[in-house]
């Protein structure tokens, strides 16, 4: 039986994934934490992210994972929220403190009134809880740049920029891309590479080995 062969138009009717390549690579997934001694110290970085986000918004270039807002929050507040677990049980005063820090950063949550603060539900993303475990109490007085997501009036999710590497990316590549996708902040790749060891895709060399 004769068969008619159609010319290839460049379209593949299925998605090719190389999960094994990602899983067996030496490069782990990662996240980015921008720390400062005060909230004010982080404001220039946050302002750059907001300006870039506004430009993307006007051109409808937002990534689906882009944060609703960027702010600076004290690590001690985040540690208390993390210890509360299901933060519905967190004290009203803790939520008041969080709302105050958001307000100081110019963030106003939609449809959230001051007298409703005790009903606020706060979820901490896994990147954020990871760094809280890593640093312990040593840096509780410092502030960290946080991404905020508010999908419902009284529900808030806080996290750090980060995520899974794409095929062929190093940890550094993935961190830089995820940061721009999620908060529009562009990281100086060369500057970051000079401070990251080669096992993460960087160029930093530890003299002590």
Cα torsion 22, 182, 135, 171 to 10°: value is 30
Q: Is 208 exposed, middle or buried (0-12, 13-18, 19+ CB in 10 A)?
A: exposed
Residue 69 is predicted with a pLDDT of 95
Residue 86 is predicted with a pLDDT of 54
Q: 143 - beta bridge partners?
A: 36, 74
Token code pair at residue 97: 């403190």
At 120-149, the pLDDT tens digits run: 889 999 999 999 988 877 777 899 999 999
Q: What is the CA radius of gyration of the chain?
A: 21
Cα torsion 124, 126, 50, 59 to 10°: value is -120
At 204, give phi and psi (nearest 5°): -70, 135
Which of 41, 101, 109, 37 has the alpha carbon at shortest distance from 71?
101
Residue 54 is predicted with a pLDDT of 94
Residue 178 is predicted with a pLDDT of 92
In this prediction, the residues of the chain whose per-residue pLDDT falls under 70 are 1-26, 85-90, 111-116, 205-209
Which of 183, 191, 143, 140 has the alpha carbon at shortest distance from 163?
183
Strands 162-163 and 30-31, sheet pairing: antiparallel
Tell me if residue 151 falls in helix, strand or coil: strand
Residue 209 is predicted with a pLDDT of 45
Range 89-126 burial, b when 16+ CB lie within 10 A, else e: ebeeebbebbbebbeebebebeebeeeebeebebbbbe
Residue 29 is predicted with a pLDDT of 77
Residue 41 is predicted with a pLDDT of 96
Alpha-carbon torsion 60, 165, 28, 83, what sign?
Answer: positive
- Which residues does 127 contact at the CB level (< 8 Å), separation at least 6? 31, 159, 160, 161, 162
Residue 111 is predicted with a pLDDT of 64
């Amino acid at each position: 039986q004769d068969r008619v062969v159609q010319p290839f138009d460049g379209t593949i009717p299925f998605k090719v994934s190389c999960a094994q390549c990602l899983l067996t690579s030496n490069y782990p997934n990662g996240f980015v934490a921008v720390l400062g001694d005060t909230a004010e110290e982080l404001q220039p970085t946050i302002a750059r992210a907001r300006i870039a986000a506004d430009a993307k918004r006007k051109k409808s270039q937002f990534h689906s994972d882009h944060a609703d807002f960027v702010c600076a929050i004290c690590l001690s507040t985040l540690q208390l929220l993390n210890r509360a677990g299901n933060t519905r049980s967190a004290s009203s005063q803790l939520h008041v403190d969080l709302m105050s820090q958001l307000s100081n950063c110019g963030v106003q949550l939609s449809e959230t009134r001051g007298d409703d603060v005790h009903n606020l539900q706060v979820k901490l993303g896994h990147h954020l809880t990871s760094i809280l475990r890593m640093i312990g109490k040593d840096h509780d007085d410092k502030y960290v740049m946080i991404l905020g997501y508010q999908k419902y009036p009284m529900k808030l999710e806080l996290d750090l920029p980060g995520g899974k590497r794409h095929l062929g990316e190093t940890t550094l590549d993935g961190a830089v891309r995820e940061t721009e996708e999620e908060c529009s902040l562009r990281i100086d790749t060369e500057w970051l590479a000079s401070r990251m060891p080669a096992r993460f895709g960087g160029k930093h060399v530890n003299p002590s080995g």
